[in-house]
């Protein structure tokens, strides 16, 4: 008897294609990071708090100006030197950890500059592993501080 | 002429198009799913990695653009334009629904600080405690 070899047709298996597709998509969905989903945390004080609690004389008083400059207590800096905030505040906070820090940004100042200063304070807070007493004054408080500074 | 014997057909389900169906479904779901309540494009200020924390799901959003327009979202619905005076009322209603409601400030780095300041004042008066300033990873890191 003559054996005729069965002719096999070449074929690429496609049954697992769907599985591969799902796997890839699930992988990409899990690894995709949306750029804007992280931010700096800040705890606002309760609204009924006595605004006189923070005395600008005892506090580190940081003012941010529209010109892109800022002052810490009496010394003036450019916003490019924002890293100096870290060292300055660090030196003060090592002595008194509860020292309040007032971040007083001028209404005409850039929001980005204010965040840059706040960032330095938050880095210090993380490095020290404790919350710093950072105050962002309301417009009324700011007017009051400025009166007291003069 | 000899009539060919009818070839017996093997029963099978076509699976070649499965991948296409899968892709179609996934693309549909990806497009129809809302990931963000706000799609306003703003140039966020930068901050360092150490200080950045993940935004909690369903956080309320207040968006301040460079031009000075303000948008707000309760974290479930899409953001819409509001006046700065209305932020207080809105925030109070969020707080009533969920007293621990976190609020995210998404403001352009070039926005006037005064506007952000007004927003902060209204939020504070409404009793918002948990606040986040949305930032971008600093390039210096």
**Max intra-chain CA distance, chain A:** 116
What is the ipTM metric for this complex?
A: 0.72
Cβ within 8 Å, pair B55-A45: no
Q: What is the pLDDT of residues A64-85, one digit of tens each?
A: 999 988 988 888 889 888 888 8
Neighbours of B78 (CB within 10 A): 12
Domain definitions of chain B by residue range:
46-137
State in words which class domain B46-137 has: alpha beta
Cβ within 8 Å, pair B109-A44: no
Q: Is A47 on the interface with B (CB under 8 A)?
A: yes
Evaluate if pTM is beyond 0.80: no
* Angle A86-A88-A92 from CA coordinates, rounded to 5°: 110
User: Is domain A54-149 given the CATH code 3.40.50.300 in the classification?
Assistant: no
Which chain A residues are Cβ-neighbours of B123 within 8 angstroms? 44
Chain A CA closest to residue B114:
A107
Residue B128, CB-side half-sphere exposure with 13 Å CA sphere: 31
Q: What integer pLDDT is reported at residue A49 of this predicted model? A: 57
Cβ within 8 Å, pair A15-B46: no
Q: What is the pLDDT of residues B2-51, one digit of tens each?
A: 666 667 778 887 777 777 777 777 777 776 665 667 777 888 888 887 77
Q: Is A37 on the interface with B (CB under 8 A)?
A: yes
Q: What integer pLDDT is reported at residue B93 of this predicted model? A: 92
Q: Is A70 in a helix, a strand, or coil?
A: strand
In DSSP notation, chain A reads -PPPPPPPPP----TTHHHHHHHHHHHHHHH---SS-EEEEEEPPPTTS-GGGS-TTTSEEEEE-TTSEEEETTEEEEGGGTTHHHHHHHHHHHH-TT--EEEEE-TTSBHHHHHHHHHHHHHHHHHHTS---EE---HHHHHHHHHHH-
Mutate to test the interface with A, among B58, B114, B130 (most CBs of A within 10 A): B114
């Amino acid at each position: 008897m003559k054996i005729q070899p069965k002719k096999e047709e070449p074929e690429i298996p496609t049954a697992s294609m769907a599985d591969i597709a799902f796997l890839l998509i699930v992988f990409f969905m899990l690894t995709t990071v949306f750029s804007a989903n992280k931010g700096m945390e800040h705890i606002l004080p309760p609204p009924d708090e006595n605004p006189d609690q923070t005395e600008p004389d005892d506090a580190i008083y940081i003012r941010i100006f529209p010109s892109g400059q800022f002052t810490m207590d009496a010394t003036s800096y450019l916003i490019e030197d924002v890293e100096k905030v870290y060292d300055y505040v660090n030196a003060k906070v090592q002595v008194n950890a509860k020292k309040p820090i007032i971040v007083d940004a001028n209404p005409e100042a850039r929001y980005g500059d204010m965040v840059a200063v706040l960032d330095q304070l938050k880095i210090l807070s993380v490095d020290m592993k404790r919350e710093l007493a950072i105050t962002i004054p309301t417009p009324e408080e700011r007017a009051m501080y400025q009166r007291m500074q003069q | 002429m000899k009539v060919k014997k009818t070839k017996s057909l093997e029963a099978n389900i076509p699976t070649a198009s499965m991948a296409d169906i899968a892709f179609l479904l996934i693309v549909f779901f990806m497009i129809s799913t809302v990931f963000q309540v706000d799609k306003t494009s703003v140039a966020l200020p930068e901050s360092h990695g150490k200080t950045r924390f993940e935004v909690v799901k369903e956080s309320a959003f207040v968006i301040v653009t460079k031009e000075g327009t303000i948008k707000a979202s309760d974290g479930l619905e899409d953001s819409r334009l509001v006046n700065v005076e209305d932020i207080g009322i809105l925030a109070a209603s969020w707080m009533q629904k969920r007293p621990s409601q976190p609020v995210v400030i998404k403001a352009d780095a070039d926005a006037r600080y005064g506007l952000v300041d007004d927003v902060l004042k209204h939020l504070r008066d409404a009793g918002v405690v948990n606040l986040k300033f949305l930032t971008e990873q600093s390039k210096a890191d």
